[in-house]
């Protein structure tokens, strides 16, 4: 079940998408400096869409309120006592 934080993040994302859509609509046939201002507004709105979407997806992944729980933490690649390899010729002749 979605938590309150997820619902708030979803609402932020929806508002950002609506603002972006409105800013893109304003780009229609506006000449000169007004176009540049509208373009800047659309780019700022597009950036906010990306930020709010990333926050929503991050919350979903970390909190797991839409699934059975948070995503399991991956096991570290290197275990204590295991030698770390360095890329390169690795002591092979001719390398």
User: pLDDT tens across 61-91, in order?
Assistant: 887 777 666 656 666 665 555 555 555 555 5
d(CA 35, CA 26) in angstroms, rounded, equals 9
- Give the residue extent of every domain in the chain: 4-63
**DSSP code string of 4-51:** HHHHHHHHHHHHHHHHHHHHHHTTTT--HHHHHHHHHHHHHHHHHHHH
Task: Give the count of beta carbons closer than 10 Å to the beta carbon of residue 19.
Answer: 17
Task: Using a pLDDT cut of 90, give the percent of the chain over it.
Answer: 35
* Residues counted in the chain: 95
pLDDT digits (tens, 9 = 90+) for 18-71: 999 999 988 876 677 888 888 899 999 999 999 999 999 998 888 777 766 665
Distance of CA 50 to the CA centre of its chain: 6
């Amino acid at each position: 079940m979605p938590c309150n934080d997820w619902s708030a993040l979803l609402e932020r994302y929806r508002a950002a998408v609506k603002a972006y859509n409105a800013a893109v609509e304003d780009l229609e046939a506006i000449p000169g400096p007004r176009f540049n201002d509208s373009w800047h507004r659309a780019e700022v709105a597009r950036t906010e869409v990306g930020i709010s979407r990333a926050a929503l997806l991050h919350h979903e992944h970390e909190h797991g309120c839409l699934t059975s729980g948070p995503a399991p933490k991956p096991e570290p690649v290197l275990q204590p006592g295991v030698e770390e390899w360095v890329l390169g010729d690795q002591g092979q002749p001719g390398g």
